[in-house]
């Protein structure tokens, strides 16, 4: 009797584990076929001199990587991405934290503010980029004339010196929506009795913010920094839609450079090498930010 039951249970477990295995199969197969293999194909091509079209190509070892790393255009694109990312992270944190703090202060109309501030997060980057593209040509110069500011009177996108900032403005307009909600949730997680007791102890509002609120915001801050770093290093849609890298090559980010080399300029294998270097950089930067930010949390 006892034995029979255990045999039946065993059979059931074996059957169950078979079903569990089948459960994982579709995802694992798709991921392997279309993600892992694609990546390995990329690694392979990065060691060849294939231009993307010709029938013949040969292995060239590390030549593509050497070319890329000594390429001025790649260096310039990298520089663009680094400056852009630093500015993006700093302003996203600053603006969304300020909005969240203001939202946390007000009671009336707060639902309206919140629903409106979140709208940009649901629209496609293409639509946002295209609309702002027109506004930079038609609305902003008018504002510049009205206020008598010289550099605002022509399109910010048409000037190599200001084009990056124009793209950054658009990115901030859309990109602050989700961080704001996250910071607001962080602010609301601060226990109010802790703030009250700090107030009774005579801490002023800055001291309360620094020693009580900020420690509660650090997990959110970490996340916002990491996601924004990734989005800054891989920025593509806005640039493709608004400047396509121009004027000159002043807004040619790495993502766009890879795209151009591969699709328009027939430097296929070189563009793959570029994307592998981008992968390495994103990986290192993510690891460093993760390290740095988690240390800070412990230090608090």
Partner 1 sequence: MNKIKSSTLLKTLSYIFLFLGLIIILIPFYLTIITAFKSSQESSLNFFAFPHSLYWDNFLGVFKKANYFMYFKNSAIITVTSVCFILLFIPMCAYGIARNMKEKYYNFIYVYLLAGIFVPFQVIMVPLVKYLSKLGMTNIPGLIIMHITLASSQGVFLLVNYIRTIPRDMEEAAAIDGCTTFKAYYKIVVPLMKPMLATILVMNALWVWNDFQMPLLILNQSPDIWTLPLFQFNFKSQYTYDYNMAFASYLIAMVPVMIVYASAQKYIVSGLTQGAVKS
Contacts to partner 1 from residues 4-33, by CB under 8 A:
12, 15-17, 19-21, 23-24, 26-28, 30-31, 33
How big is the chain by its Cα radius of gyration, in Å? 26
Question: Helix, strand, or coil here: 299?
Answer: helix
207 touches partner 1 by CB under 8 A: no
What residues numbered 224-263 form the site for partner 1, per CB under 8 A?
227, 230, 233-234, 236-237, 240-241, 254-255, 258-259, 262-263
Return the closest-CA partner of residue 79 out of 242, 252, 282, 244: 252
264 touches partner 1 by CB under 8 A: no
Identify which range of 84-92, 125-133, 157-165, 292-300 contacts partner 1 by CB under 8 A: 125-133
Residue 123 sits at the vertex; the CA angle it makes with 161 and 90, to the nearest 5 degrees, is: 45
Of residues 171 and 275, the one with the C-beta less far from partner 1: 275
Return the closest-CA partner of residue 225 out of 276, 161, 121, 296: 296
The Cα 170–Cα 235 span in angstroms is 12
DSSP 51-87: -SS-S---B-TTHHHHHHHT-HHHHHHHHHHHHHHHH
Least separation, in Å, of the C-beta of 74 and partner 1? 14
Q: Given CA atoms 194, 198, 204, 209 in this order, what sign does their dihedral have?
A: negative
Least separation, in Å, of the C-beta of 197 and partner 1? 16
292 touches partner 1 by CB under 8 A: no
> Which of 151, 207, 283, 296 lies at the binding interface for partner 1 (CB under 8 A)?
283
The Cα 242–Cα 250 span in angstroms is 13
Of residues 135 and 161, the one with the C-beta less far from partner 1: 135
> Which of 47, 80, 84, 132 lies at the binding interface for partner 1 (CB under 8 A)?
132
What residues numbered 77-106 form the site for partner 1, per CB under 8 A?
98-99, 101-103, 105-106
> Which of 134, 151, 160, 161 lies at the binding interface for partner 1 (CB under 8 A)?
134
């Amino acid at each position: 009797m006892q034995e029979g039951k255990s045999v039946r249970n065993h059979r059931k477990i074996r059957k169950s584990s078979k079903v569990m295995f089948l459960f994982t199969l579709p995802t694992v197969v798709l991921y392997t076929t279309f993600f892992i293999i694609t990546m390995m194909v990329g690694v392979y091509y990065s060691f060849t001199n294939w231009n993307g079209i010709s029938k013949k190509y040969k292995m060239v070892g590390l030549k593509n990587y050497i070319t890329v790393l000594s390429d001025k255009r790649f260096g310039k694109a990298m520089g663009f991405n680094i400056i852009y990312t630093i500015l993006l992270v700093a302003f996203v944190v600053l603006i969304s934290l300020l909005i969240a703090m203001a939202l946390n202060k007000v009671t009336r109309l707060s639902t309206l503010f919140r629903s409106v501030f979140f709208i940009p997060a649901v629209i496609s980057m293409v639509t946002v980029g295209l609309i702002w593209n027109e506004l930079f040509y038609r609305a902003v110069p008018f504002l510049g004339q009205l206020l008598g500011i010289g550099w605002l009177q022509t399109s910010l996108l048409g000037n190599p010196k200001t084009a990056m900032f124009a793209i950054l403005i658009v990115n901030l307009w859309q990109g602050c929506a989700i961080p704001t909600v996250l910071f607001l949730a962080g602010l609301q997680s601060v226990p109010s009795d802790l703030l009250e007791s700090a107030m009774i102890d005579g801490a002023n509002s800055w001291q309360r913010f620094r020693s009580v609120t900020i420690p509660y915001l650090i997990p959110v801050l970490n996340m916002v920094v990491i996601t924004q770093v990734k989005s800054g290093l891989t920025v593509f849609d806005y640039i493709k839609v608004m400047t396509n890298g121009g004027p000159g090559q002043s807004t040619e980010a790495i993502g766009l450079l890879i795209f151009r080399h591969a699709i328009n300029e027939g430097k296929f294998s070189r563009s793959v090498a570029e994307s592998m270097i981008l992968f390495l950089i994103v990986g290192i930067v993510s690891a460093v930010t993760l390290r740095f930010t988690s240390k800070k949390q412990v230090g608090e």
